[in-house]
Amino acid sequence: MTETKENKMGVMPVNRLLITMAAPMMLSMLVQALYNVVDSIFVSHFSQDGLTALSLAFPVQSLMIAVATGTGVGINAMLSKSLGEKDRDSVNAAAGNGVFLALCSYAVFLIFGLFGARAFFETQKATANVINYGTQYLSICAVFSLGVYVQITFERLLQATGKTFITMWTQLSGALINIILDPILIFGYLGAPRMGVAGAAVATVIGQWVAAAVAVVCNFKFNPEVTLTLKGLRPRPRVIKRIYAVGFPSILMVAIGSVMTYTMNQILLGFEKVGETAVSVFGAYFKLQSFIFMPIFGLNNGMIPIVAYNFGARKRKRITGTIKLSVIYAVSLMFIGFLIFQFGGGFLLNLFDATPTMLELGVPALRIISLHFLLAGFSIISSSVFQALGNGFFSLIISVARQLVVLLPTAWLLSLTGKVTAVWWSFLIAEFVSLVLCALFLKVTYSKKLKDIPE
């Protein structure tokens, strides 16, 4: 059984393997994107202030998921590489310490949810109504976030051993539960209390807990390559160091994205009269763009274990073939997304019960921001390649340069024109810088990591 699964990533034709590994993840990520968007769609029909609150809460939600997924990337890379090297002890150590780190991460956000949610919203230039809605939503999501940490960790254990089809079902289960419960709890259908914005948070965490339960059961039932025991949860500094050598840069990259989103919201709130509407547009964009980016992240999730496994097995041709195909698929998906945002902006924004002012600001915003889609596919795949090969620091440098060094300063300078539309061009400028850095670091990585591997 173990040999068959190992040989799958080492001998199956690369294109077929990549599609087999990535397609279920891409589908599940699409559903994941759907349930991220559904929250905001239903809340927008309940209250536009509620939509603004969810947009302002997004940086912290993003940070929670960043910690879970970043740790998961480290677990995935170490576990897949250890499978390629046939090192069973390291495989089980990565799994056990990964679960331990997930529990530690949850403890941090539990404390934030209990004591820091309102303080976070009070740092922003929002109305009292928005602050109240946001505090309700974020407190519930943070206090009960254990589900998301367990879900993502156990999904990564399945992905690392090639069982991406099973993880599709774990994500689908959580997403469908959330989508079903959203209107029931927000508007009080079927005899449920009318909870408003808080109902969206409750639906989210219930979905996460259901997905977590499915992921745990599937691991113990269908993943014999990984053995989890209570003894394995004992922290091992060497293993934790290896996990975070790859995972910590990934966490920081998304954390930087949270800082970017928070700061961009403050820049947009600085525009008189249209500030909160601009924040709603920006929040709607982030939800909508997930339909384009999440499938590519699913492609990454399928690609990373293939690259890491074959790096451990010293098979250069399979590594480069996987990378090339992933870039082609990512760029193609991004181009489709570009066309949708260029020609369907009004339709997309009307899903959020857009006001005339929101449409006036939002349609040009979607058209301008989506220009960077044409460059982003290559950058996303390149960053994941660096992580899979143990060069996560390159991904971190690119993320810092793109979002902190270029995007935010450029957005602030363009805001001085007094035109909200000008701010959106900062995304294209920043993505161009990211593309140049990715190409440079990819060349360096190939020379140092892959060039000397014999065919």
**Residue-range domain boundaries for the chain:** 2-450
Tell me what pLDDT residue 232 has. Answer: 76
Around 357, how many Cα atoms within 13 Å sit in the side-chain half-sphere?
10
Tell me what pLDDT residue 240 has. Answer: 92
Residue 5, pLDDT > 70, answer no
Secondary structure (H, E, C), 387-434:
HHCCCHHHHHHHHHHHHHHHHHHHHHHHHCCCCHHHHCHHHHHHHHHH
For the segment 233-238, the average pLDDT, to the nearest whole number, is 89
Helix (H, G, I), strand (E, B) or coil at 405: helix
Contact indicator for 170, 211 with CB cutoff of 8 Å: yes
Tell me what pLDDT residue 4 has. Answer: 43
Q: How far apart are CA 174 and CA 214, in angstroms?
A: 9
Sign of torsion over alpha carbons 182, 188, 189, 191:
positive
Q: Would you report the helix, strand and coil content of the chain in percent, each value rounded to 5?
A: 85, 0, 15
Residue 140, pLDDT > 50, answer yes
Residues in CB range of 343: below 8 A, 6 or more apart: none
Residue 84, pLDDT > 80, answer no
Q: How far apart are CA 303 and CA 325, in angstroms?
A: 10
Under DSSP, the state recorded for 446 is I
For 243-297, the pLDDT digits (tens) are 888 888 778 877 888 899 999 999 999 898 888 899 999 989 988 998 898 889 8
Q: How far apart are CA 306 and CA 216, in angstroms?
A: 23
In the chain, pLDDT over 70 holds for what percent of residues?
Answer: 98
Tell me what pLDDT residue 1 has. Answer: 39
For the segment 415-440, the average pLDDT, to the nearest whole number, is 95
Poorest-confidence range of 14-23, 98-107, 156-165, 257-266?
156-165
Residue 416's Cβ-count burial label (10 Å; 0-12, 13-18, 19+) is exposed
Residues in CB range of 402: below 8 A, 6 or more apart: 379, 430, 431, 433, 434, 437
Tell me what pLDDT residue 70 has. Answer: 86
Q: How far apart are CA 412 and CA 398, in angstroms?
A: 20
For 332-388, the pLDDT digits (tens) are 999 999 999 999 999 999 999 888 999 999 999 999 999 999 999 999 999 888 878
Residues in CB range of 429: below 8 A, 6 or more apart: 406, 407, 410
Residue 13's Cβ-count burial label (10 Å; 0-12, 13-18, 19+) is exposed
Contact indicator for 175, 93 with CB cutoff of 8 Å: no
Q: How far apart are CA 40 and CA 56, in angstroms?
A: 12
For the segment 430-437, the average pLDDT, to the nearest whole number, is 96
For the segment 414-420, the average pLDDT, to the nearest whole number, is 94
For 312-347, the pLDDT digits (tens) are 778 888 888 999 999 999 999 999 999 999 999 999
Query: Which comes out higher in pLDDT, residue 15 or 36?
Result: 15
In the chain, pLDDT over 90 holds for what percent of residues?
Answer: 50
Residues in CB range of 296: below 8 A, 6 or more apart: 26, 330, 333, 334, 377, 380, 381
Q: Which residue has the tokens 């140049």?
A: 436
Tell me what pLDDT residue 455 has. Answer: 65
**Across all residues in the chain, what is the average pLDDT?**
88
